[in-house]
Chains A and B, each alone.
Chain A
Amino acid sequence: MKKFKFFTNFDHEEQWLNEMARQGYVLTGKSLSYEFAQVQPENANFRMDYRTFKSRQDFEDYKALFEDSGWTHIAGTRSSGSQYFKQTGAEGSEDIFSDVDSKAARYKRISDMWLSLACCFIPLFAVLISTDAIDVTAFLKPQLLYYTPGLWDMSGGQFWRAFLFETPFAFFRGFTWMMIPVMILVYSLFAYKAKKQYEKTQQGR
């Protein structure tokens, strides 16, 4: 079974995965969506870390350490960041972190990732502005975005058909650039939320 869901909080994500296991759906993979296998309901213990690795060797070493300490690596790649672990047996520690600082540090790492992603789009946005590629008049005179000859002289059904047909194209023409500031904003918001969670976890609240 596949499920789409988005989390900005690792603790909530872990709780959700454990809850899914209690209902008989155990995580088997994660790409864009979560992949679950149907099993006997179980009290699983899923834990998450956030790390990317410079080399394949580093990644192997990391996974080996967790396997040695009783955690099965379920999902995550060298560059995916999110790493999903499931406690193998009953022995060993309950968590993959034994102090507050390291438990909080994963939020710092994901916050930095969101922030650098947001920053990537800033120069692109600056270029679009400085080359006048962004036409702000489209806000004031959206009719200029319609290219159908004689559109505004048509009437009745003919007008509406032509108008509605072209509207998606006109929208695309005029407002695609807005994706960039929106993305900068959304990524910055994720970075901010992760940073807040980092501080909160560090204070042990």
Chain B
Amino acid sequence: MRPRALVNTFVGYAILVFFALVFLYPFVIQIGNSFKTESDAAASPLSPIPDSVSLDGFERIFEGTSFPIWLGNSVLVAVVITAGRVLLDSMAGYALARLRFPGRQAIFASIIALLAVPGVVLLIPKFLVLNQLGIYDSYTALILPLIADAAGVFIMKQFFESVPVSIEEAARIDGAGVFRRYWSVVLPMARPALITLTILSFQGSWNEFTHTLVAVQNPNLFTLPRGLADLVSGSLGSGTQYPLKLGAALLATIPVAIIFVVFQRYFVRGATEGADKG
């Protein structure tokens, strides 16, 4: 390599390593400090290594807070929403891509329009409708409004349009009805898109915070993000209790982190879906 190219490579690595530190070190600090005693965390917050490993924080997460309830609720809510979205979004995506029925264009246009409505603007509206339907403060309120989403329909429609029609035609000539064609012919081919949708739905519903804020107020219905927010803003008794808070936040992050590492390329696909159409 010429000296100049060598310098360039070195500078490139230096930039990348510096930013990798900036982006990952907070997580390292989080892990380290969650295993510290409170005084140790306060004395040397920057160090990732505890003076002596203390499981005090984690013990108090499980004994002193409602963490197990939040965890159970999060699992339930995320699993049901994910299953619902995969089924309903793919059905709607298939119909919009393939089937001819009156109002198809109008429905698709409305779904795109809904994609553009900022979520935060919907906080009070969502509360009003849940309240009016008499389902405020229930599992139904946590799950039902999120069980279908416009973005998922869009991803599935795009995918089904990329599949050649000829395969379905063959099945149709063999006498398969619409549901058979969807369920046994098209869906199995849609695996990559379905995995993307599953992952995005799980990540989205696992991390969802604002919806739970306007859907429930009973602490027994809190999911992890809601419980965590409560833990941080509420009073925990004495001290700042950072090891406990960091530990609880860490446990809430782990499922998504594992899925992210394993299914990384599907996340990338989900994030760049928009860039391609732009």
Co-assembled chains A and B: no
Chain A residues in contact with chain B, CB under 8 A? none
Chain B residues in contact with chain A, CB under 8 A? none
